Structure 1
């Protein structure tokens, strides 16, 4: 374990869990990397990634943009638009003094209704009151083009380049019908790395895969709010989490020795997120994987490295794992926050080489749980009941075995569980669309290894 800290900033710790012993000729090394940030709080000190000069000039430490779907469907029923206004007001009340913020009304176009001049306001009692008054102008009419909303948020954030922590909330009730998939993909790509985004779908007429695509690329969360009455508390909670972030643009840097290759990198807690394809080269034999912004929290990552085969008795460093911040100037060097080591030792002791790390085994199961749920629901939509039953049966078995009680309860709303240990299930009749979408949306949420 390695630890590094700065005054008034979070302390980062990293712990590596693995079975370092490999059989003669084996090449695959697996490790769970637990990263914990503590002591950052929600105020005081310069956020990492913001220069001292920017701080001295009075720069805010965070910026938020709330994107509210105002398409015509938000009036059917009218409680959706009413709930969206109340939720946005609750989020505005949660924005702390000094934070830059804006509210965007999204249809087939995007219009910033507050402050309304193409910039970000600075939160105070007065501006929060003005922003809540402006919500009267949120009315339902028009289409849905989420890429346009993201582009507007990106443009607003770019007016304050001195702010390191940028976070958005996106609410919708429908499909992205008024732009094609390529337009949305381009907007997501342009926004990626500029800000993080939490996405919420209200009701059941939106697509999980669309919102998951946005939230995954922008390192946020996705969830369903089945009833509009639940929006306010959800928005309040999301904004409180955003206000707790103190470190922006943190990367998981993995260095490997010659002839070793990183096979995959996945966040596995608090939710499964595959980061493998998002590697950015960071010097000889090193790559950075984005993790976004951090407050007081802990996350787990599964790292798999393929190393050159070696004979019994050999030992090597398979990977060096670091948490780093990018350089704040062109001539500067990245800042290492914490680091740990992944090792490989070849042995002919069968008991040692066949023992699976409990952490690795657990999170391999959690990743399989998520994919089983998603594949099962997809098969059910396609009419393949046998495959759907087999996949959701496997999900029930894994959820039961690993103590993922939250997912197990969601599965019980979709299938009747005959035998949880064996994964024997039957599809329930008349499953609500809300229950099915809730299971799909929350399929990636995991539980941590029991101590």
Structure 2
């Protein structure tokens, strides 16, 4: 594994950004479609609290599902109201905010004017009263909710727009305002986090929204948990003071960028600005995010047995003169004819590909259970347990344990619990969308000379299932195959 590191110089009171690249640089020139995968770790430090001297940083819209299904059990609507109140109480003075009631239409609950209110003791108190007076009735059209949120936020000059959306149901009235079209109009304009409550929501629908709008999807089993979850989310949100951070990928001749996607803390879609290699990410506080970069390279006519530059990665903050930026970093390739080198993969890359396989196993189990194929669902869940155990994904394991009795996590031996309900799979899907950090940068080897022995930072392909495992592993984390002793 080759790991490049670039951290901006630390200065008290100044926001700094850092960039680290982890990759296994050796590729075989004989492969039909050679691809170089790398993990970019991007860090921001020193953001402090929101609402500095330049005015409010955040503009907040709270969307409450008030469809008829929220009337039962009665605790559901009460929890939604309590959660909205908890979020409102966290808003800093001067923060623009609004509360939206969602059914087959969308309407502003507070304020009573066409424009968003500014947070103060008075407006917070009025908003709480309006929230507690909401009643449920009607259907569900999430596209209408997001479209109204977009129009409200478009009136504000706060650099970070955020929508916190709660629903207990599926998007049953999509024909009123198609969600796909609305997401295209909303993309890049605000960040949306979405929560599922009750037993009728669709996790994949929420993920489709949050991945497009650079947020995350979550859920609660017990309604009483929701206000506390909202408070934690708002605490994190109020530290975000960097509206945008751009990752630029400049490919060398003979190389193209296949994709760049966020893989930690949750997966998010990234699209390059037209005609450029610039990918915009949204709303940063003090945090680390990881991105998977895929480059396609053509070995024809390129020298072998030496390091070549495939692309240069840089981090930029538009208009961010106060942010100290890291030095650009290079992604390398080393074309080799030695299969002992080209068969390995970077451990960080493999970690997030395992997360992807975990999500695929959960999705397959969900579909099988819905079709009544419980044995097949059990097999898919067993594979998910193997992967979660191998990665140390404790939250996913805990969620899986609600659906299956885990007899042997390493071997994936499980038994489906008889009382499993469809909503249990929805909770599992949202949990599986949150990835774990993975191997720390610089923990592997591979930056030395050709022929260097790979260490903990490399992976090797399993001969039984073709998935990859750490180079020193005794068992495949995907299928449980026992590896022969390797020198």
| Structure 1 SS opposite 2:345 | coil
| Residue matched to 1:377 | 366
CA contact (8 A) 2:348 2:439 kept: no
Query: Which among 90, 96, 113 is matched to residue 92 of structure 2?
Result: 96
Alignment pair present for 1:110 and 2:102: no
1:378 and 1:326 mapped to 2: Cα distance? 43
**Could you tell me how far 1:40 is from its partner in structure 2?**
0.7
Alignment pair present for 1:319 and 2:311: yes
Alignment pair present for 1:68 and 2:57: no
Query: Which among 286, 294, 297 is matched to residue 287 of structure 2?
Result: 297
- Summarize the alignment of residues 37-436 of structure 1 with structure 2, pairs less than 5 Å apart: 37-43=44-50, 55=54, 59-160=55-156, 162-180=157-175, 183-275=178-270, 278-283=271-276, 287-309=277-299, 310-326=302-318, 337-338=325-326, 339-436=328-425
**Could you tell me how far 1:354 is from its partner in structure 2?**
3.4
Structure 1, 351-360 or 200-209: larger mean CA deviation: 351-360
With normalisation by structure 2, the TM-score equals 0.82
Once the two structures are superposed, residues 343-364 of structure 1 have per-residue CA deviations (whole angstroms, 9 ceiling, x without a partner) of 1122445544333322122222
1:261 and 1:372 mapped to 2: Cα distance? 30
**Could you tell me how far 1:179 is from its partner in structure 2?**
2.9
Q: 1:178 to 1:351 in 2, by over 3 A?
A: closer
Unaligned runs of 5+ in 2: 441-487
| Residue matched to 2:428 | 439
Query: Which among 22, 29, 36 is matched to residue 36 of structure 2?
Result: 29
| Structure 1 SS opposite 2:333 | strand
| Residue matched to 1:51 | none
Once the two structures are superposed, residues 246-280 of structure 1 have per-residue CA deviations (whole angstroms, 9 ceiling, x without a partner) of 111323222211221223323221123353xx232
**Could you tell me how far 1:193 is from its partner in structure 2?**
0.9
CA contact (8 A) 2:50 2:240 kept: no
Structure 1, 175-184 or 91-100: larger mean CA deviation: 175-184
CA contact (8 A) 1:324 1:336 kept: no
Once the two structures are superposed, residues 392-439 of structure 1 have per-residue CA deviations (whole angstroms, 9 ceiling, x without a partner) of 222111111121122112112212223322223332211134432211
CA contact (8 A) 1:267 1:300 kept: yes
Note the aligned Cα RMSD (angstroms): 2.4
CA contact (8 A) 1:104 1:113 kept: yes
1:379 and 1:279 mapped to 2: Cα distance? 36
Count of residue correspondences: 429
CA contact (8 A) 1:10 1:246 kept: no
| Structure 2 SS opposite 1:413 | helix
**Could you tell me how far 1:391 is from its partner in structure 2?**
2.3
Q: 1:405 to 1:12 in 2, by over 3 A?
A: same
| Residue matched to 1:52 | none
Alignment pair present for 1:10 and 2:15: yes
| Structure 1 SS opposite 2:432 | coil
Q: 1:65 to 1:8 in 2, by over 3 A?
A: farther
CA contact (8 A) 1:226 1:434 kept: no
CA contact (8 A) 2:18 2:42 kept: yes
Structure 1, 245-254 or 59-68: larger mean CA deviation: 245-254
**Could you tell me how far 1:91 is from its partner in structure 2?**
0.3
CA contact (8 A) 1:8 1:45 kept: no
2:177 and 2:382 mapped to 1: Cα distance? 36
Q: 1:348 to 1:433 in 2, by over 3 A?
A: closer
| Structure 2 SS opposite 1:268 | strand
CA contact (8 A) 2:106 2:145 kept: yes
1:122 and 1:181 mapped to 2: Cα distance? 31
Q: 1:288 to 1:341 in 2, by over 3 A?
A: same
2:29 and 2:137 mapped to 1: Cα distance? 67
**Could you tell me how far 1:326 is from its partner in structure 2?**
4.5
Q: 1:434 to 1:163 in 2, by over 3 A?
A: same
Q: Which runs of 4+ in 1 moved over 4 A?
A: 5-9, 348-351
CA contact (8 A) 1:396 1:423 kept: yes
With normalisation by structure 1, the TM-score equals 0.88
